Amino acid sequence: EAQEEARGVALNGLPALSRALESCQRCDLCRYATQSVPGIGPDHAPLMLVGEQPGDQEDLQGKPFVGPAGQVLDRVLSAVGIERSEVYLTNAVKHFKFVSKGRRRIHQTPGRTEIVACSPWLDQEIRLVQPKLIVTLGATALQAVEGRVSRLGALRGHVRDGSATRPPSLATIHPSYLLRLPEPLRAQEEEQRFMQELSAARDWL
Ligand code: URA
């Protein structure tokens, strides 16, 4: 039923999709998050980048990738010559999942239930935007787009063929992975590799 609801609103385009998302109760995350965070970008962007879920800042501001991971993403995108404004940016899960520790809110990885519950929204975004290529950032986005768990390590850097209903997709890491690497040299190497993988996406613009 909720899927039909998502399908129905999608007929009216991305703004209607965002409005419908505001009252989404498809899983429990809506009870604790400040707001849902819809995707952002041009209607028919050739590239769609899919992240995991809003973080603390995204939850407060209602926009994707405006926090620390977004800064890494911006840096890497501009280094490979992709304008943020020419891509459609969204997340596999539209509400922030966290646990409270004092005044801090600690990110929690969304589980299969939340990814599956949220998938009609992503499906509709894909149908409306019709990107030439989807870039999945990290394991959660990969799982959401593929519909099953696959090993990111084995798939990263590769473009997976599309189907009648799905554009081709390129798997790479999530930018926050770079923020978690304690070794500066290793982080630098991984950032280089992330750049290489993202630069392949530029050919689809
Ligand atoms: N991490 C994500 O996956 N998405 C965001 O929007 C922000 C951080």
The CATH number of the domain holding residue 149 is 3.40.470.10
Q: Which pLDDT value is given to residue 39?
A: 98
Q: Which pLDDT value is given to residue 9?
A: 47
Are 123 and 163 within 8 A, CB to CB?
no
Are 168 and 60 within 8 A, CB to CB?
no
Q: Which domain holds residue 127?
A: 2-202
Q: Which pLDDT value is given to residue 3?
A: 57
User: What does the alpha-carbon distance between residue 179 and residue 186 come to, in Å, rounded to a whole number?
Assistant: 11
Ligand 1 binding pocket (C-beta < 6 A) is 51-55, 58, 64-65, 67, 69-70, 91, 176
User: What does the alpha-carbon distance between residue 194 and residue 137 come to, in Å, rounded to a whole number?
Assistant: 10
Looking at the structure of the chain, the number of domains it has is: 1
Q: Which pLDDT value is given to residue 184?
A: 96
140 CA closest ligand 1 atom index: 3
Ranges in the chain, pLDDT < 50: 8-10
Helix (H/G/I), strand (E/B), else coil: 47: strand
